[in-house]
């Protein structure tokens, strides 16, 4: 048998072995991924149901607290209602997500029943909440006996004897589903291991025999063959690395474009709405048009920069520093941010204490960094709260702080908030849209100005974004 036929035989045997092992591995990976998704979906739904159990108990206690202690406890009832609505929304979403992991009609029928149970729980809660509202209204009108009777009959009783059994049954069903999935995983794992073991032994025997025969025939030319293989492998690796680098630059460029254009467009839309609302005064209309024109100029400059950005293969953009007053940049950003804040009933307050400090900065770029911080603050601010934009001056630096009254930054998210494409764990619940590149862009802008940026939690709650920038030569003028 010639060397060529030995190579062909080894190649065919290797191909068959690789195809068989790859098929088993692919099937195993597919099953593993399917089981992981399935168990993860079931676990998420279990967690939401367990949370709903606690929320329902807290809701009952808060309503009872208002009836016993008076309307001073009413804000707690409102928070409990909001928590219940959010939890039901998450439960509906988790149930639908669980449906997407199923593979057939037989598996979907029980899950459709679970979706129907969620609908029944929501309707039951709304009926109970309506009864609670009537009880609170009776208590407010001084009808204590009627309020107590309504609470005991239509709130506490229905929570304990109608809603709670539904929650308990849902928890039991999720536990049973997890147990069944784990059992199926173990059975499938055993089958795959047996099949993989048999294939591995057969492949090892055949490949060993053919390998010995081939080695005896080609041992003198092995070095040359290995060198050729290494060369081709290196070429493929380099080509793959270049393709990945091009793809990364393209993705980052498109993400930056979308983020850069979103905020100016939002301001333009908000100013246009203000100008078209009712019968505006001429001065108000002129101010709105001037801000629209300003944003249009900014967007034109932004598009010019993006074109240059693309022509240089997505290299870093250069800013054009000039001697500017920090308070003018802060005031301009705060004025535009108010347009973003009004639909969310959030106010933007400025506290300028930098005494007219001058910095070497690109006005538009630095305002862009502040707008990113203000946009994030608006998204995380509850209705009726306020955002404070303050400035101060030190010996060699000027500081701008953007403080909101939102939930703050978790310890888990804080080390990664300035990473490109990173979104915090609470973003999904807040239904905030975005790709997680805003703070990364702001960090790049501030560092190009020789400054630093950080995001901390405020002493009295909320988050504080702090920008520290070097003063221009001569400081304030």
Parse the chain into domains and list their residue ranges.
3-201, 240-311, 322-470
Query: What is the reported pTM?
Result: 0.40
Query: Taking Cα atoms as reference points, which of 269, 331, 273, 339 lies closest to residue 299?
Result: 269
Q: Please report, in angstroms and rounded to a whole number, the separation of the first and last CA atoms in the chain.
A: 92
What dihedral angle (degrees, nearest 10) is formed by the CA atoms of 340, 342, 346, 347?
90
Give the distance, in angstroms, between the CA of residue 431 and the centroid of all CA atoms in the same chain.
9
Q: Which fold has domain 3-201?
A: A middle domain of Talin 1 (1.20.1420)
Rounded to whole angstroms, the Cα distance separating 185 from 375 reads: 46
Looking at the DSSP assignment, which residues form a beta bridge with residue 391?
352, 400
Assigned CATH class of 240-311: mainly alpha
Secondary element (H or E) of residue 349 = strand 347-353
Q: What is the pLDDT along the chain (477 residues), one digit of tens a residue?
A: 565 666 777 677 777 778 877 777 777 777 777 677 777 777 788 888 888 888 888 888 888 887 877 777 788 888 888 988 898 888 888 888 877 776 656 566 666 777 788 888 888 888 888 888 888 888 888 888 888 888 888 888 888 888 888 888 888 887 887 777 778 777 877 888 888 888 888 877 877 776 676 667 666 665 677 788 888 888 888 888 877 865 775 676 566 666 667 667 777 777 777 777 766 677 777 777 777 777 776 676 566 545 544 443 444 445 578 899 999 999 999 999 999 899 889 999 999 999 989 999 999 889 989 999 999 999 899 999 999 999 999 999 999 999 999 999 988 888 888 887 666 665 544 545 444 677 888 898 999 999 999 999 998 889 999 999 999 886 555
CATH architecture of the domain 322-470 equals 2-Layer Sandwich (3.30)
Rounded to whole angstroms, the Cα distance separating 257 from 437 reads: 11
390 phi and psi angles, rounded to 5 deg: -120, 155
| Pairing of the two strands 463-470 and 452-457 | antiparallel
Q: What is the DSSP string of 414-426?
A: GGGTTSTT---TT
Rounded to whole angstroms, the Cα distance separating 81 from 55 reads: 9
What token pair was written down for 443?
């960090």
């Amino acid at each position: 048998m010639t060397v060529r036929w030995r190579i062909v035989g080894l190649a065919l045997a290797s191909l068959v072995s690789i195809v068989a092992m790859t098929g088993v591995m692919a099937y195993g990976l597919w099953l593993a991924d399917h089981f992981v998704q399935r168990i993860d979906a079931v676990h998420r739904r279990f967690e939401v149901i367990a949370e709903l159990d606690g929320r329902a108990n807290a809701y009952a206690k808060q309503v009872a607290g208002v009836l016993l202690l008076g309307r001073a406890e009413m804000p707690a009832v409102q928070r409990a209602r909001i928590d219940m609505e959010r939890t039901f929304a998450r439960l509906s979403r988790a149930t639908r997500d669980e449906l997407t992991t199923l593979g057939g009609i037989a598996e979907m029928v029980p899950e459709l029943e679970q979706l129907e149970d969620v609908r029944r729980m929501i309707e039951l809660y709304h009926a109970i909440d309506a009864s609670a509202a009537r009880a609170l209204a009776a208590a407010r009108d001084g009808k204590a006996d009627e309020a107590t009777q309504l609470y005991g009959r239509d709130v506490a009783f229905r929570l304990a004897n109608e809603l709670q059994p539904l929650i308990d049954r849902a928890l039991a069903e999720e536990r049973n589903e997890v147990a069944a999935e784990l059992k199926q995983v173990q059975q499938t794992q055993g089958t795959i291991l047996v099949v993989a073991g048999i294939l591995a032994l057969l492949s090892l025997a055949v490949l060993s025999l053919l390998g010995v025969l081939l080695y005896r025939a080609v041992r003198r030319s092995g070095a040359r063959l290995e060198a050729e293989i290494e060369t081709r492998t290196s070429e493929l690796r380099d080509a793959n690395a270049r393709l990945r680098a091009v793809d990364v630059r393209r993705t980052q460029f498109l993400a930056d474009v979308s983020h850069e254009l979103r905020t100016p467009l939002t301001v333009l839309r908000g100013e246009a709405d203000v100008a078209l609302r009712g019968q505006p005064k001429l001065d108000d209309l002129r101010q709105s048009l001037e801000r629209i024109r300003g944003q249009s100029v900014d967007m034109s400059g932004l598009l010019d920069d993006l074109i240059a950005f693309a022509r240089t293969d997505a290299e870093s953009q250069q800013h054009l520093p000039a001697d500017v007053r920090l308070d003018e940049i802060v005031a301009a950003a705060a004025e535009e941010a108010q347009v973003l804040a009004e639909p969310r009933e959030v106010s933007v307050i400025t506290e300028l204490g930098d005494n007219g400090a001058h910095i070497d900065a690109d006005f538009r770029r630095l305002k862009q960094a502040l707008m990113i911080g203000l946009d994030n603050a608006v998204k995380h601010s509850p209705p009726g709260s306020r955002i404070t934009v303050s400035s101060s001056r030190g010996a060699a630096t000027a500081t701008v702080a953007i403080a909101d009254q939102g939930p703050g930054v978790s310890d888990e998210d804080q080390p990664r908030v300035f990473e490109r494409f990173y979104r915090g764990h609470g973003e999904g619940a807040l239904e905030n849209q975005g790709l997680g590149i805003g703070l990364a862009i702001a960090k790049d802008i501030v560092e190009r100005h020789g400054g630093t940026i950080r995001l901390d939690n405020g002493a009295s709650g909320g988050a504080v974004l702090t920008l520290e920038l070097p003063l221009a030569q001569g400081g304030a003028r």
